[in-house]
């Protein structure tokens, strides 16, 4: 029997072909979990070329990959920063599966407009970055934790932050603020929910080859970035997703309140 057989997971921000959300959803399904796949309902006009070429259908395609593994899937369009949407997400999960055991907070605001000097950063963009990563983590974690406590069987909450939650950098003020906040929120939630048997952890990836960083391109700038990673390559969505899934297993039940680097040695000191 797969270790997570019969468990139910919610994975936010899981609609991209090359994305940690998709990688996490598939890794959880391979361990036997049914998966609620959420995304923002992107217009196909905004899809990157590889998604268009593959006939990708956002969260429905991720759901199809979950089903192909042999598990059930429920795709939902959700704005994680909206209380009504989050309540709907949890209600629909309970209606479809009768329970929830795992939450993966992966949703993030698209990078690009936020990667400017702090002096040039639009306050609205700053707020949107925090709305998705910080308020989204708060609303989703709160809603799911209430269900986990009522069920009385414990559970797992894993948040995908970043190495940017460990070390600040120029031109990334909003993202640093959001990711540092997620690290602190993980510790706070772990203190509160640990006695209820709910593991709370955070994953801090380094440079991962996903569509999120397509604005960098894959030319000289990308190569310089990769050359500065001790293992000399970027990570993959499946590698990070596999680690997220591991944190949802019994084998990881003594790992609690941690914000764990997964970055090929890119950041070691924190």
Find the helix or strand (DSSP H, E) in which 2 lies.
Answer: none
Q: Identify the band that residue 210 occupies on the pLDDT scale cut at 50, 70 and 90.
A: confident
Is 246 a residue of the active site? no
> Who's near 184: CB < 8 A, 6+ residues apart?
none
Architecture of the 8-262 domain: 3-Layer(aba) Sandwich (3.40)
**Whole-number Å distance between alpha carbons of 247 and 267:** 20
In the chain, what are the domain boundaries?
8-262
- Global pTM value: 0.95
Q: Rounding to the nearest 10 degrees, give the CA dihedral for residues 134, 135, 136, 137.
A: 50
User: Which tokens hold the place of 117?
Assistant: 């000097």
Beta bridge partners of 204: 261
Catalytic residue (one of 138, 175, 180, 243):
175
User: Coil, strand, or helix at residue 236?
Assistant: coil
- 52-102, pLDDT tens digit by residue? 999 999 999 999 999 999 999 999 999 999 999 999 999 999 999 999 999
- Between residues 112 and 243, the one the model is more confident about: 243
The pLDDT tens digits for 13-35 are 999 999 999 999 999 999 999 99
Residue 198, pLDDT score = 98
Tens digit of each residue's pLDDT (9 = 90 or more) over 90-124? 999 999 999 999 999 999 998 889 999 999 999 99
Positive/negative CA dihedral, 210, 216, 219, 221: negative
What whole-number distance in Å separates Cα of residue 38 and Cα of residue 15? 7
């Amino acid at each position: 029997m797969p270790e997570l057989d019969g468990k139910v997971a919610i994975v936010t921000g899981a609609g991209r072909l090359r994305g940690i959300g998709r990688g996490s959803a598939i890794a959880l399904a391979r361990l036997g979990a049914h998966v609620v796949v959420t995304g923002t309902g992107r217009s196909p006009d905004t899809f990157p070329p590889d998604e268009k070429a593959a006939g990708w259908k956002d969260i429905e395609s991720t759901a199809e990959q979950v089903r192909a593994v042999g598990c059930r899937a429920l795709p939902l369009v959700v704005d994680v920063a909206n209380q009504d949407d989050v309540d709907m997400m949890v209600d629909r999960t309970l209606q479809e599966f009768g329970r929830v055991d795992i939450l993966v907070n992966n949703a993030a605001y698209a990078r690009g407009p936020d990667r400017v000097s702090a002096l040039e950063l639009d306050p609205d963009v700053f707020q949107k970055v925090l709305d998705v990563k910080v308020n989204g983590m708060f609303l989703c974690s709160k809603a799911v934790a209430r269900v986990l406590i009522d069920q009385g069987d414990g559970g797992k909450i894993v948040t995908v932050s970043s190495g940017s939650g460990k070390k600040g950098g120029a031109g990334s003020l909003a993202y640093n603020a959001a990711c540092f906040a997620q690290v602190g929120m993980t510790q706070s939630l772990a203190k509160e929910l640990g006695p209820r048997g709910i593991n709370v952890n955070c994953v801090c990836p380094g440079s991962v080859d996903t569509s999120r960083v397509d604005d960098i391109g894959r030319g000289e700038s990308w190569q310089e970035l990769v050359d500065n990673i001790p293992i000399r390559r970027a990570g993959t969505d499946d590698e990070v997703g596999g680690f997220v899934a591991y944190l949802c297993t019994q084998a990881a039940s003594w790992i609690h309140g941690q914000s764990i680097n997964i970055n090929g040695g890119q950041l070691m000191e924190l």
